[in-house]
Amino acid sequence: MGKRKPAFVVVSDDEGTDEPPSSEPLITETKPFLTSQVGDSSLSCSIPTGKCGLPRRQSFTQSSDVQAWVDKYRPREVSDLAVHAKKIAEVREWMVNKLQRCDKPDHCGKVLLLVGPTGCGKTAVISVLMSKFEGAELCEWDPPVPTLWNEHLHHVNTGSEGYYDIPYVSKIQQFTEFLDGVTRYPLLPLPHESQDKGNSTSFLRKTVVEKQKVLLIDDLPIVHGRESILKLCHRLYNFALSVQFPTIVIVTDFLGNEEHGQGISTLTTDIVHTFESAGAKKITFNPITAIAVRKVLNRIMIAEKCTVSPELVSFVAESCGGDIRHAINCLQFLCIGSKSISCSWDPGGDIFLDKSKRKRGTGDNSSVKRKKLSQCKLLEKKCKSSIDCRDSSLSLFHALGKVLHNKRITEADKISGKNSIGFILKEELQRHPLNMEEPETLISQAHTDAASFLCFLHENVLEFVDEEGIEDVSVALTYFSDADCLLKSRKRSSSSFFSVHASDEIDPAHIGEAVAGSVCARGVLFANTHPSKPRWLSIRSPSIRQVDRLMNEKKIENYTKLLGVIQASHTMCTHVVQVAELEPLYKQLAYRKGQSNLTLTSKEIGSDLLFFPSQSLGIFSDMEAMDISNEMHVDDMISSEDEIEEW
Amino acid sequence: MLWVDKYRPHTLDKVMVHVEEAQQLKQLVSQGDCPHLLFYGPSGAGKKTLIMALLREMYGSGAEKIKVENKPWKVEAGSRKLEVELTTISSNYHVELNPSDAGFQDRYVVQEIIKEMAKSRPLDVSGNKSFKVLVLNEVDRLSKEAQHSLRRTMEKYSSACRLVLCCNSASKVIEAVRSRCLNIRISAPSKEEIMKVLQHVAKKEGLQLSSSFAARIALASNRNLRRAILSLEACKVQQYPFTEDQPVQTTDWEQYIVEIASDIVNEQSPKRLFLVRGKLYELLVNCIPPELILKRLLLELMKKLDSELKHEVCHWAAFYEHRMQLGQKAIFHLEAFVAKFMSIYKRFLINTFG
């Protein structure tokens, strides 16, 4: 049973030779032990090494030259951290409060909640700060390699030996068991420890127990479905109230990442709410600024003695989207490239740092040098295309806000961009260059299809045009009309062409959709020459779907009514006639029911036709309710964006 | 029973409008056989009346013993099996249905029903009328695919059944179907004809109808006979005996469009457009066909427009009506038309009044 799980033991720091002297004990994977025993340990080990900046993890000393820089240059001192000083101070203050004055009765909860996007140094801050506290020990819940349900089924069905007797334990169950254990026993018995104790007593050098424990939960299980989310939140709430030690919970924020679906982002917010309601202190980390990332990258470059052109460094720093881990990985990748290239071009040559020495050499070297330089440029280009792989994603509202707000480069910077078009357009067709990504990129980043993007734009565009700009609206709506036609062609082609064409051919349906998205986004950008003044503007979700739904309901209702009409009159009556001509008449007849001798049919039908005004009211109150719930403060988003820049 | 149904002429000899066409139809079926027929013309012109009368002419009163059925049709569409609920009116000799009610599965429905009909030919003592008639309404609302499959089935089962197609606009019926049918255009009755029919109905009901009031009803009906008779009935319910200044009832959605039109003319701004959008949504929710909305709106706007602009506005209305057929969501095109109008009208106002 134990062999499927990586073993974690508590060791003192004397094993880590390249560690700076620090008093905190380390939890290290005992890799040699595992590799000698089980084949699949490589899998179990590869997961934790992806984490950055954790002093508790050590890699092999013999493979330090290929060690990931993320691990090699993880921050050890507070000054190494790229996180904003204010945030660090906040965390430190919390730690001081909890650890050094712990004997005082403390009512304000023992849980610290760190929220932030990936790679913004949440874990690094904790580990660095913890290492500064004497007499405190960081213990982490390390989830075992989960048994996938499918895998389990496979093993059970095929009857593989050894697996057969492993009962299936879901990740959530393990997690709740862990929480139970933690709250019950003050000594923080990590389940893995106790399990592996029998096997690995020789590796286990227990440190003194009187040290204060700080529990770190980094890997909250992810659940799906409303019910299980509630269950998990309930557990966490109880846990947060009853936990004995200072606990740090790290929640990675998927904000705006539509790719992961609504499920996870609601889960994240649910969890955050749960902890907050249980009295946890919440600290939100922002993505790391490009400047800070660049600083870190430069430091690493100096330490590694490799050179990457400053432009490339800033490119890496900017493209990483505040994810420092990603930036360092990119840098390492770039440097590997530069080293190998320089070797192949100049077998005896050194790395680029030595270029200055060679310059002073004889003149015949210059041609080689030039060749090499051009090669460098080429390489850079290649690298740029290959490292720009961290897709930054935008929330749908963010993307909409960009398109609707229509930010453009103003007069001052216009001169530089003017020559980009080779021909001169008429005055009224000229626009300033866009101050944003390509609209197509925006749509793809928002992870939405063109149809819904179109609906959103259509719903919201009117507010973003100045009161005088009805011409602009007219132009924009014409583009919407175009886009809608393009989307229709998508449907048709997907039914007829799709089945006929071979799968490797370009699907015309996709082109139609892509073009439609492009047309509607660019149409709005082009048309809106009188943007309304910046003010409080909310983005509503489109009511078009609501209208469609109501229309279908009404259609079904009408259909049953139509049956009545047909049965009464014994003539087929078309839908249009019924709706447009007969029904209004029935209504008029029904209003006068008392005064006249109505025929049976119109009485029957007329009686339930009176709802028209009341229902129409209903629609709009519904819509408004929906709007309010979906409102989002665009300016708020913009300002938060600015905040990131500032940091 | 509504007057519209009550006073519907049942034989080709009794029709009051389109007398000529009725006689031609009578001659056509006098031999006992007929080609496929396509009736087209505006709403309320009398297409359906003629068709029913024609059926009676062919089969005698047996064609009037009808039953209304609402049954699910099991249709095999490729690998899937669909169940489509459809209402049919049938006698021993004919089946009538609205295939467009089946939505996007219409083409399977058309095929399936025709096949079914072809299987069960009517028994006739004389044995010479061994075909059934299938009356299809709203053929112009069928999808192109359905129309193509209609063409094939028409050829395949031509010995077993005759099709009588009925639609408003022949231009939305594909060429292949049109060329296989005898096309009969039923034009909208003239104002005088409508007045004649109204007087006829009034006489039968024992009402006093002054010719000026009849003229007003006929005018308001827009040469739609059904509309005229319906509003006569509505007026009678509202107030009888008729007075000269009595308003002719219009339908509520048309009233609503009048409102929209005045909204548009009064102010041209994005804010106003938003208001109009809400009203258009409401019309759509109540299942008023978008084509009808656009047409009506154009007519209302035309009333308030300087003749200088009429041509341009008409052009754009036609443009967006076409777009509506190409696209999916009608609101985009309706609203684009409204915005276009606002833009044109505003420019006109600025040029004229400064």
User: Do B328 and A584 count as a contact with CB atoms less than 8 A apart?
Assistant: no
Look at residues A481, A476, A471, A449 and name the one whose alpha carbon lies nearest to residue A460.
A476
Residues 6+ positions from B306 with CB-CB distance below 8 Å = B348, B352
Q: Min CA distance, A398 vs chain B (Å)?
A: 23
The 3-class secondary structure across A352-376, one letter per residue, is: HHHHHHHHCCCCCHHHHHHHHHHHH
Query: Are B336 and A580 inside 8 Å of each other by CB?
Result: no
A471, A548, A579 ranked by CB distance to B343: nearest: A471
The rounded distance, in Å, linking the Cα atoms of A68 and A331 is 11
Name the minimum distance, in Å, from the CA of B216 to any CA of chain A: 18
Using 50, 70 and 90 to split pLDDT, how confident is the model at A9? very low
Q: Which residue has the higher pLDDT, A218 or B254?
A: B254
Q: Does domain A4-284 have CATH number 3.40.50.300?
A: yes
CB contact under 8 A, A595 and B288: no
The mean of the pLDDT values for chain A is 64
Interface probe, candidates A452, A464, A470, chain B, greatest B C-beta count within 10 A: A470
Which one-letter DSSP state was computed for residue B62?
G
**A498 to chain B nearest CA, in Å?**
15
> CA-nearest residue of chain A to B251?
A584
Percent of chain A with pLDDT over 70: 51
Question: Per-residue pLDDT tens for A604-614?
Answer: 333 333 333 33
Nearest by CB to residue A481, choosing from B98, B100, B336, is: B336
Q: Is A266 helix (H, G, I), strand (E, B) or coil?
A: helix
Element holding A134 (H helix, E strand): none
**Region A341-365 average pLDDT:** 41
| DSSP assignment letter at B120 | S
Chain B residues inside the 8 Å CB shell of A470: 268-270, 273, 339, 342-343, 346
Contact A571 B89 (CB under 8 A): yes
**What pLDDT does residue A359 have?**
41
- Cross-chain CB nearest to A484 (options B230, B289, B327): B327
Per-domain boundaries in chain A: 4-284, 393-540, 547-646
The CA distances from residue A302 to A313, A387, B185, in Å, are 13, 21, 88
In the block, residue with structure tokens 């932030």: A116
C-beta separation of A449 from A422 below 8 A: no
Size of interface A-B (CB pairs under 8 A): 189
- Whether the predicted pLDDT of A266 surpasses 60: yes
- Assess B6–A contact: CB distance below 8 Å, yes or no: no
Flag whether residue B351 sits within 8 Å of chain A, measured between CB atoms: no
> Which two three-digit tokens encode residue A69?
């820089």
Which of A585, A621, A623 to probe the B interface (max B CBs under 10 A)? A585
B244 close contact with A: CB closer than 8 A? no
Q: Does B350 touch chain A (CB under 8 A)?
A: no
C-alpha span between A117 and A151 (Å, rounded): 31
Q: Given A474, A566, A620, which is nearest B278 (Cβ)?
A: A620
Residue A68 burial (CB count, 10 A): 16
CB contact under 8 A, A488 and B327: yes
Tokens of A626: 């929906």
Residue A51: strand, helix, or coil? coil
> In this predicted structure, what is the pLDDT of residue A602?
35
Question: Are the beta carbons of B233 and A589 separated by less than 8 Å?
Answer: yes
Contact A599 B1 (CB under 8 A): yes
Q: Please answer yes or no on whether B135 and A487 come within 8 Å at the CB atom.
A: no
Helix (H, G, I), strand (E, B) or coil at B166: strand
Q: How far apart are CA B202 and CA B206, in angstroms?
A: 6
Tell me what pLDDT residue A191 has: 42
Instruction: Out of A11-20, A334-343, B96-105, B122-131, pick the least confident.
Output: A11-20
Give the pLDDT confidence score for residue A384 in this predicted structure. Answer: 56
- How confident is the model at residue B294, as a pLDDT? 94
Determine, for residues B347 and A584 on separate chains, whether the beta-carbon distance falls below 8 Å: no
Report pLDDT for A59.
Answer: 39
Does the distance separating the beta carbons of A582 and B230 come in below 8 Å? yes
Binary contact (B339, A477; C-beta < 8 A): yes
Q: In this structure, what token pair is assigned to residue A374?
A: 């051009």
Q: How far is the C-alpha of A29 from the C-alpha of A189, rounded, in Å? A: 17
Q: Is A359 exposed, middle or buried (0-12, 13-18, 19+ CB in 10 A)?
A: exposed
Per residue in A564-606, pLDDT (tens digit) is: 777 776 666 777 777 777 777 777 776 654 443 333 333 333 3
Q: Rounded CA gap, A489 and A480, in Å?
A: 14
Under an 8 A CB cutoff, do A484 and B329 touch? yes
Share of chain A above pLDDT 90, in %: 1
Quick check: helix, strand or coil at residue B348?
helix
What is residue A579's DSSP assignment?
Answer: I
Better-scored residue on pLDDT, A393 or B176: B176
What residues of chain B lie within 8 A of the CB of A618, using their CB? none
Task: Test B66 with A458 for CB contact under 8 angstroms.
Answer: no
Query: Which residue in the set A454, A467, A485 is minimally distant from B323, CB to CB?
Result: A485
Q: What pLDDT, on a 0 to 100 scale, did the predictor assign at position A39? A: 38
Q: Mean pLDDT over residues A433-456, rounded? A: 81
| Partner A contacted by B220 (CB < 8 A) | no
CB contact under 8 A, A572 and B70: no
pLDDT, one tens digit per residue, over A87-130 is 888 888 888 877 765 555 455 567 888 887 777 878 888 888 88
Whole-number pLDDT of residue B337? 94
Per-residue pLDDT of A123-140, as tens digits, reads 888 888 887 776 677 777
Measure B250 CA to nearest chain A CA, in Å: 8
Question: Look-up: residue for tokens 């000799």?
Answer: B93
Scanning B40-99 for CB atoms below 8 A from A yields: 43-44, 48, 52, 66, 68, 70, 87, 89, 96-98
CB A119 within 8 A of CB A254: no
Q: Which of A454, A550, A589 sits opposite B285 (nearest CB)?
A: A550
CB contact under 8 A, A474 and B277: no
- B248 to chain A, any CB pair closer than 8 A? The answer is no
**Contact state of A470 with B137 under an 8 Å Cβ cutoff:** no
Burial A569-607 (b: 16+ CB within 10 A, else e): bbbbbbbbbbbbbbbbbbbbbbeeeeeeebbebbeebbe
In terms of Cα–Cα distance, which of B3, B24, B20, B94 is closest to B56?
B94
Q: Does B289 touch chain A (CB under 8 A)?
A: yes
Whole-number Å distance between alpha carbons of A63 and A41:
17
Distance CA A23, CA A465 (A): 62
Distance of CA A596 to the CA centre of its chain: 67
Instruction: State which residue of chain A sits closest to B289, comparing Cα positions.
Output: A576
The model's pLDDT over A518-558, given as tens digits with 9 standing for 90+, comes to 899 888 888 888 777 777 777 788 888 888 888 888 888 88
CB-CB: which of A473, A566, A569 is closest to B270?
A473
Structure tokens at A86: 């204010």
Q: Could you tell me the end-to-end alpha-carbon distance of chain B, in angstroms, rounded to an integer?
A: 57
Which residue stretches of B2-74 are H helix? 3-6, 19-29, 47-59
How high is the pLDDT of residue A427? 74
Nearest CB partner across the interface for B287, out of A554, A567, A592: A554
pLDDT for A380 equals: 58
Query: Which residues of chain A are within 8 Å of residue B347 when distances are taken between CB atoms?
Result: 471
pTM metric for this prediction: 0.63
Q: Cα–Cα distances in Å, from A366 out to A234, A344, A346, A352, A357?
A: 70, 17, 13, 15, 12
Cα Rg of chain B, angstroms: 23
Report the residue from B226, B282, B346 with minimal CB separation from A581: B226
Tokens coding A48: 């934790």
Cβ <8 Å between A462 and B66: no
Residue of chain A nearest B326, judged by CA positions: A485
Which residues of B fall within a CB distance of 8 Å from A560?
Answer: none
Strands A247-252 and A281-284 come out as: unpaired
As beta bridge partners, residue A401 has none
* pLDDT class of A60 with cuts at 50, 70, 90: very low
What value of ipTM does the predicted structure carry?
Answer: 0.84
Span A150-197, pLDDT tens digits: 677 777 666 655 555 556 666 677 777 777 776 665 554 444 443 333
Residue pair A195/A5 in contact (Cβ under 8 Å)? The answer is yes
Binary contact (B237, A589; C-beta < 8 A)? yes
Q: Give me the tens of pLDDT residue by residue for chain B, a chain 354 residues long.
A: 778 888 888 888 888 888 888 998 888 888 777 888 999 998 888 888 899 898 888 888 877 788 888 777 777 766 677 777 778 888 878 888 887 777 667 777 777 777 777 676 655 555 555 678 888 888 888 888 888 888 888 888 877 788 899 998 888 888 988 998 899 999 999 999 999 999 999 998 888 888 888 888 888 888 889 888 888 888 888 777 788 788 887 788 888 999 999 999 998 988 899 999 999 999 998 888 898 899 999 999 999 888 889 999 999 999 999 998 888 888 999 999 999 999 999 999 999 887
Pick from A462, A547, A598: CB nearest B281:
A547
Chain A partners within 8 Å of B323 (Cβ): 481, 484-485
With an 8 Å Cβ cutoff, is B8 touching chain A?
A: yes
Containing A526, the helix (H) or strand (E) segment is: helix A508-527
Nearest to B227 among A568, A570, A581 (CB): A581
